[in-house]
A and B are shown apart, each in its own frame.
Chain A
Amino acid sequence: MSSAKDWERGYARQAQADFTTFQSLQSVRGIPECHRLLFLQMACEKLCKAHLIAGGADPEALQTSHGYIANPLPVVVRQQIIFLRADVTRMTGVLLLTRHLAREIELLNPAVDRAGGRPDNCEYPWDQGGGLHSPLDWSFSPSHLLARKAGRTFLKLVRGAIDRLQT
């Protein structure tokens, strides 16, 4: 029987691999935006789940459930800022963007659609407004948010938070 610590480490390792893949794909031409973001979404979800499991959540229940980014990820990023001993008052903009990004990244998962209001996702086509949309043709808001200076800082903080779980 695996312990909670085993599960936490397992999720952390997968998060690291997902994030490394996301970063590697940034420099590969021809990779669709949806596929790049899919790995970021998976990395963020596993990072959050590792912290939830360490906090006592049932690993088996978390394995088949989604929607664990919008609430936990800003708290994880905020702790990473504090761990870095940064001047936290100068990071309010980063955290504001993180809250926005966390909601949008969570929506990239097809299982999360805000009661049908946001069917756009990274994996499957969806029918909306009388037409079929493909992730391959869609422009996802996280890509625009990540291009900002605070977005790039967000990515560094996520990477740091994942690395911290390995130590």
Chain B
Amino acid sequence: MSTKDEAARLLAQKHREIEAGISHILHVTGRVDVELLPDEPIKLLEVNADTVPNGVMPLYFAASPQSGIPYPTAIIEVTPEEFRRIQAKELDLPAGWLHLQELPPEPEPVEK
């Protein structure tokens, strides 16, 4: 079974593959002891130029091990302007969304 970090990277990669409007995907974590709980979801903050502003509202999805996603997931999708306001501390993330780590696009495989 993949770790939560690996599952987060896989999800981010799939999201980028299907949507050209995504400019940033951040893996958000909380307190270490909370992140160790099996029910604590993978938390992704996604910046998408193709979405509409709706504030900071997480969407929760249950785990789906048979689909290769063994952890629940919570996703917040924001516009670039909303992301700017989050960075400027004008918009708050939900409680427990503490540490943000950018998940960059996976490098293209080099053809030999």
Contacts and interface: CB of A to CB of B under 8 A. Distances in A.
A164 B62 CA distance: 9
Interface of A: 48, 51-52, 54-57, 67-68, 70-72, 74-76, 78-79, 81-85, 88-89, 91-92, 95, 99, 103, 164
B12 to A, nearest CB: 11
B57 interface: yes
Contact of B50 (A76, A91, A99): A99
Chain A interface SS verdict (over half): helix
B3 to A, nearest CB: 18
Chain B interface SS verdict (over half): mixed
Nearest to B54: A71
Interface string B72-92: 011101000000000000000
B99 interface: no
Contacts of B50: 99
Most buried by A among B11, B50, B54, B57: B57
